[in-house]
């Protein structure tokens, strides 16, 4: 699928902001005045930035309200509702915490659950699409949730680093970050090696696979069309490997290294760690869309 920059930015920024809401909602982060304001503002700002990117992605932004009407059957509609409910619940939690100094744990847990629910709904928009095997036959939901939790963890650390405050439980957080990096690398690289055997093929579509490889006698037409441009976008294997390596390095390996150094040199290193993580996630999310092909591309001789 042709990666739209607005969707790439939407899923990365909103996932990072929702991840921060989840961690702050369960009590991660120091209870200092400046950290409260900065962390809460950053989390809400990232979600708002993602929402703005989604509005720019729409051909008719004035009709965006219609996305809220199909919540019974549409994961896109459920995402829209959760994208509103999560910031509202977290905003109330943040207001009481920042102004009064009280962390209402019940409200924080509700905000955290709604935030993770919004990330899950976003992932389900893609995971439910059976005609796109690279989304439906791979752990898309786990990947989105992992990225949000890791991003939120680095975001909270970045906010703490700016104000010079320590983050409690940093040892276990680093272990989580390392495990998440290994998981993402496995599901995007090692699992990707076997994806060619998942989903549909010309052989399964025609039922002639037992006779050997099926190939087209003649193409449907000689020119390009919307399907080939948007739903059958192709990225070279070598280029995909390079982008995956950059994404895994900047998104996980470098933040992990900077997090370890921050324990010795100071929390300010979490700021470049956050910048690196966002850059790496933009690369990985671009690849997530670029590698997805609709099964209709088989009609045009794509394998």
CATH code, domain carrying 112: 1.20.1630.10
Containing structural domain, residue 175: 5-206+223-300
Is the distance from CB of 37 to CB of 98 less than 8 angstroms? yes
pLDDT score for 221:
72
Is there a domain that residue 215 lies in? no
Q: What share of the chain is helix, strand, coil (3-state, %, to 5)?
A: 75, 0, 25
Is there a domain that residue 91 lies in? yes
Is there a domain that residue 211 lies in? no
Structural domain total, the chain: 1
Rounded to a whole number of angstroms, the CA Rg of the chain reads 21
Q: Find the length of the chain.
A: 303
Is there a domain that residue 216 lies in? no
Cα–Cα distance measured from residue 146 to residue 15, given in angstroms and rounded to the nearest whole number = 10
Closest CA to 138 of 6, 261, 287: 287
Is there a domain that residue 213 lies in? no
Is there a domain that residue 50 lies in? yes
Is there a domain that residue 82 lies in? yes
Is there a domain that residue 258 lies in? yes
Q: What is the pTM (predicted TM-score) of this model?
A: 0.86
Is the distance from CB of 153 to CB of 220 less than 8 angstroms? no
pLDDT score for 283:
93
3-state secondary structure of 191: helix
pLDDT score for 60:
65
* Predicted confidence pLDDT, tens digits, the chain (303 residues): 777 888 898 899 999 999 999 999 998 888 888 999 999 999 999 999 887 776 666 666 666 666 677 778 889 889 989 999 999 999 999 999 999 889 999 999 999 999 999 999 999 999 998 888 778 877 888 889 988 998 999 999 999 989 887 766 666 677 777 777 777 766 655 545 444 445 567 777 677 878 888 777 776 777 777 777 777 777 777 788 888 888 888 988 888 888 888 888 878 888 999 999 999 999 999 988 888 877 777 777 665
């Amino acid at each position: 699928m042709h990666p739209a920059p607005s969707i790439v930015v939407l899923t990365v920024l909103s996932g990072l902001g929702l991840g921060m809401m989840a961690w702050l909602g369960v009590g991660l982060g120091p209870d200092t005045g400046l950290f409260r304001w900065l962390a809460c503002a950053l989390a809400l700002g990232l979600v708002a930035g993602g929402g703005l990117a989604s509005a720019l992605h729409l051909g008719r932004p004035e009709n965006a309200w219609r996305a809220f009407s199909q919540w019974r059957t549409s994961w896109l509609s459920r995402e829209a509702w959760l994208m509103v409910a999560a910031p509202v619940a977290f905003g109330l939690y943040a207001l009481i915490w920042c102004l009064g100094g009280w962390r209402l744990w019940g409200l924080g847990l509700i905000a955290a659950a709604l935030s993770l629910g919004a990330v899950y709904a976003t992932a389900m928009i893609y995971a439910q699409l059976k005609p796109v095997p690279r989304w439906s036959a791979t752990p898309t939901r786990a990947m989105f949730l992992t990225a949000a939790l890791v991003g939120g963890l680095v975001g909270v650390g970045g906010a703490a680093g700016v104000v010079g405050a320590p983050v409690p439980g940093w040892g276990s957080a680093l272990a989580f970050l390392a495990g998440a990096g290994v998981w993402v690398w496995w599901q995007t690289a090692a699992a990707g090696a076997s994806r060619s055997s998942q989903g549909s093929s010309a052989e399964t579509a025609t039922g002639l696979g037992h006779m050997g490889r099926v190939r087209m006698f003649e193409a449907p037409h000689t020119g390009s069309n919307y399907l080939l441009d948007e739903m059958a976008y192709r990225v070279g294997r070598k280029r995909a490997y390079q982008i995956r390596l950059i994404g895994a390095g900047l998104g996980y390996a470098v933040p992990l290294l900077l997090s370890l150094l921050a324990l010795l040199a100071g929390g300010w290193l979490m700021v470049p760690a956050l910048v690196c993580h966002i850059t790496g996630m933009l690369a990985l999310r671009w690849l997530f869309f670029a590698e997805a092909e609709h099964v209709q591309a088989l009609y045009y001789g794509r394998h």
